[in-house]
Structure 1
Amino acid sequence: MRLTHLDATGAATMVDVGEKSETARSARAEALVVMQAKTLDLIRDGNLKKGDVLAVARVAGIMAAKRTSDLIPLCHPLMLEKVAVDFEFEPALPGIRIHSEVRLSGKTGVEMEALTAAIIAALTIYDMAKAVDRTMTVTAVRVVEKSGGRSGDWTV
């Protein structure tokens, strides 16, 4: 098996996508922040002293997706056409599930951008709520769907 991020000498290299065709590409990812029920209530009701946790986490996730190539070595800088970050309250856990979606027309996929959006949104929630709940965990970070490119479509 040939590793795509190593050259013939074994040195790290960015994959050459120059010969690839531009296609519509998208990816969706998710992350989960598990917390105490009272913390979930504070976030849902907008009663944390630091402000609107989900609004800040949404912006953080979008900004992070746009900066993925600055954070992950060998990732291509991409002209993203859409980045969305949404939240789902899960009282049974209790916790918040973060959903991210990234799209573009390009020569390389956007899975890393979708993962970056989800995890940075999760870390932002943690940061804003840690003063009231040090037991929170960030977990279940994963790509749940990708489409486009030579490898085609994939869904969990």
Structure 2
Amino acid sequence: MKKLVMSISLVLLVFLGACSGNNAAEKEQKNQTEKTSEKNPANKSQVVDGLKITIKKQEENEKVEGKKKENLYTFTIEGENASSVKKGLGSIDFVLKTKDKKEVKLDDSLATFGNELKSGEKLSGKVSFATNKAPDKLVYKPNGKELVEWSVNANE
């Protein structure tokens, strides 16, 4: 009986030890991504929180609603789950920061995307922001926490 209890304890100890090492590696990867995020221009892939996110295209158009005119900034985003667990990605996870540091929320009157991704799955879609202020950064901000950002070129 003692041998059985010892064997189960040893297996649990090894299993729990192996699981805790993966979390530390993910946290380190996340910290490295946050430190380098300001250096990476748009159209570059970044891996953050197990997701490889790429800004494929930036567009600038004019949005007219009645007498109101605004600039419409649309980004085509591609995400791939690079982790071994399911991850969620969607339009609502992104905000646009203007040069005066204001946040512009997504314009949900236009097409949006979002889904849960299994390991290795890809998802792409568009996210749009309507504003008359000069854009500066596109920020990936799930659950209110800024994880990574890309520089925005207003004329692309």
* Same-fold call, TM cutoff 0.5: no
TM-score (norm 1): 0.31
Q: Name the structure with the higher strand share.
A: 2
Structure (1 or 2) with the larger CA radius of gyration = 2
Structure with more relative contact order (C-alpha pairs < 8 Å, separation 6 or more): 1
